[in-house]
Amino acid sequence: MADLSIAVRQVGDVAVLLPAGFINAHTVLGFEEALEKLVQDGHYTILLNCKDLNYISSAGLGAIMGLIETVREHGGDILLSNLQDNVFTIFDTLGFTQLYRVFGDEGQALAAASPEQKG
Protein backbone atom coordinates (compact mmCIF):
# COMPACT_ATOMS: atom_id res chain seq x y z
CA MET A 1 0.00 0.00 0.00
CA ALA A 2 1.27 3.46 -0.85
CA ASP A 3 2.11 5.73 2.08
CA LEU A 4 -0.41 8.26 0.81
CA SER A 5 -3.27 8.25 -1.68
CA ILE A 6 -5.50 11.21 -2.40
CA ALA A 7 -9.04 11.29 -3.74
CA VAL A 8 -10.86 14.46 -4.76
CA ARG A 9 -14.55 14.99 -5.38
CA GLN A 10 -16.79 17.97 -5.85
CA VAL A 11 -19.85 18.51 -3.65
CA GLY A 12 -21.64 21.63 -4.82
CA ASP A 13 -19.13 24.44 -4.63
CA VAL A 14 -16.91 22.60 -2.19
CA ALA A 15 -13.91 20.57 -3.31
CA VAL A 16 -13.55 17.62 -0.93
CA LEU A 17 -10.04 16.23 -0.66
CA LEU A 18 -9.56 12.87 1.08
CA PRO A 19 -5.97 12.03 1.94
CA ALA A 20 -5.51 8.41 3.06
CA GLY A 21 -2.39 7.21 4.85
CA PHE A 22 0.53 9.28 6.05
CA ILE A 23 1.56 12.84 5.24
CA ASN A 24 5.21 13.37 6.04
CA ALA A 25 8.24 14.87 4.31
CA HIS A 26 8.28 11.94 1.89
CA THR A 27 4.65 12.14 0.79
CA VAL A 28 3.93 15.83 1.21
CA LEU A 29 4.71 16.74 -2.38
CA GLY A 30 1.72 14.77 -3.67
CA PHE A 31 -0.52 16.37 -1.05
CA GLU A 32 0.78 19.83 -1.86
CA GLU A 33 0.31 19.32 -5.59
CA ALA A 34 -3.28 18.15 -5.09
CA LEU A 35 -4.07 21.24 -3.01
CA GLU A 36 -2.35 23.59 -5.44
CA LYS A 37 -4.16 22.09 -8.42
CA LEU A 38 -7.51 22.74 -6.75
CA VAL A 39 -6.58 26.35 -6.16
CA GLN A 40 -5.21 26.77 -9.67
CA ASP A 41 -8.48 25.40 -11.04
CA GLY A 42 -10.40 28.02 -9.07
CA HIS A 43 -11.61 25.88 -6.17
CA TYR A 44 -11.20 28.15 -3.18
CA THR A 45 -13.41 26.34 -0.68
CA ILE A 46 -11.67 23.10 0.18
CA LEU A 47 -12.71 20.53 2.73
CA LEU A 48 -10.05 18.14 3.97
CA ASN A 49 -11.92 15.03 5.06
CA CYS A 50 -9.27 13.32 7.19
CA LYS A 51 -11.15 10.15 8.09
CA ASP A 52 -8.44 7.98 6.54
CA LEU A 53 -5.50 10.19 7.43
CA ASN A 54 -3.48 8.32 10.02
CA TYR A 55 -0.73 10.82 10.50
CA ILE A 56 0.42 14.32 9.52
CA SER A 57 3.74 15.95 10.31
CA SER A 58 4.72 19.61 10.12
CA ALA A 59 5.48 19.14 6.43
CA GLY A 60 1.79 18.57 5.79
CA LEU A 61 0.76 21.42 8.07
CA GLY A 62 3.08 23.67 6.11
CA ALA A 63 1.39 22.69 2.85
CA ILE A 64 -1.99 23.74 4.26
CA MET A 65 -0.59 26.91 5.78
CA GLY A 66 0.98 27.83 2.47
CA LEU A 67 -2.43 28.14 0.80
CA ILE A 68 -4.71 29.46 3.52
CA GLU A 69 -4.14 33.12 2.73
CA THR A 70 -4.67 32.57 -1.00
CA VAL A 71 -8.01 30.81 -0.64
CA ARG A 72 -9.27 33.36 1.90
CA GLU A 73 -8.25 36.24 -0.35
CA HIS A 74 -10.60 34.69 -2.91
CA GLY A 75 -13.46 34.39 -0.43
CA GLY A 76 -12.91 30.72 0.23
CA ASP A 77 -11.53 28.69 3.10
CA ILE A 78 -9.90 25.41 4.06
CA LEU A 79 -12.08 23.34 6.37
CA LEU A 80 -11.24 20.15 8.23
CA SER A 81 -13.43 17.22 9.19
CA ASN A 82 -13.22 13.71 10.62
CA LEU A 83 -9.87 14.20 12.33
CA GLN A 84 -8.48 11.15 14.09
CA ASP A 85 -7.40 11.83 17.67
CA ASN A 86 -3.67 12.03 17.01
CA VAL A 87 -4.16 14.30 14.00
CA PHE A 88 -6.47 16.57 16.00
CA THR A 89 -3.86 16.69 18.77
CA ILE A 90 -1.25 18.00 16.34
CA PHE A 91 -3.52 20.77 15.06
CA ASP A 92 -4.73 21.64 18.54
CA THR A 93 -1.28 21.62 20.13
CA LEU A 94 -0.12 24.24 17.68
CA GLY A 95 -3.24 26.32 18.10
CA PHE A 96 -4.39 25.65 14.55
CA THR A 97 -7.89 24.77 15.66
CA GLN A 98 -8.27 28.54 16.07
CA LEU A 99 -7.17 29.13 12.51
CA TYR A 100 -9.21 26.42 10.79
CA ARG A 101 -12.80 25.44 11.24
CA VAL A 102 -12.90 21.83 12.38
CA PHE A 103 -16.02 19.66 12.08
CA GLY A 104 -16.92 16.25 13.36
CA ASP A 105 -18.04 14.95 9.99
CA GLU A 106 -18.22 15.92 6.35
CA GLY A 107 -21.93 16.73 6.43
CA GLN A 108 -21.48 19.35 9.14
CA ALA A 109 -18.57 20.89 7.25
CA LEU A 110 -20.49 21.06 3.98
CA ALA A 111 -23.49 22.62 5.71
CA ALA A 112 -21.25 25.28 7.23
CA ALA A 113 -19.48 25.91 3.94
CA SER A 114 -22.58 26.26 1.77
CA PRO A 115 -23.91 29.57 3.17
CA GLU A 116 -20.54 31.13 2.43
CA GLN A 117 -20.75 30.00 -1.17
CA LYS A 118 -24.16 31.56 -1.60
CA GLY A 119 -23.35 34.72 0.28
Q: What Rg, from alpha-carbon coordinates, does the chain have?
A: 13
Residue 57 sits in the site that holds another protein (CB under 8 A): yes
Residue 73 sits in the site that holds another protein (CB under 8 A): no
Residue 25 sits in the site that holds another protein (CB under 8 A): yes
Backbone angles phi, psi at 8, to 5 degrees: -130, 135
- Contact stretch for another protein (CB under 8 A) within 5-13, 42-50, 61-69, 108-116: 61-69
Report in angstroms how near the CB of residue 112 gets to another protein at its nearest.
20
Whose CA is closest to 61, among 19, 13, 28? 28
Whose CA is closest to 63, among 91, 26, 18, 33? 33
SS3 14: strand
Residue 94 sits in the site that holds another protein (CB under 8 A): yes
Contact residues toward another protein (CB under 8 A) are 3, 22, 24-26, 55, 57-59, 61-63, 65-66, 68-69, 85-86, 89-90, 93-96, 98-99
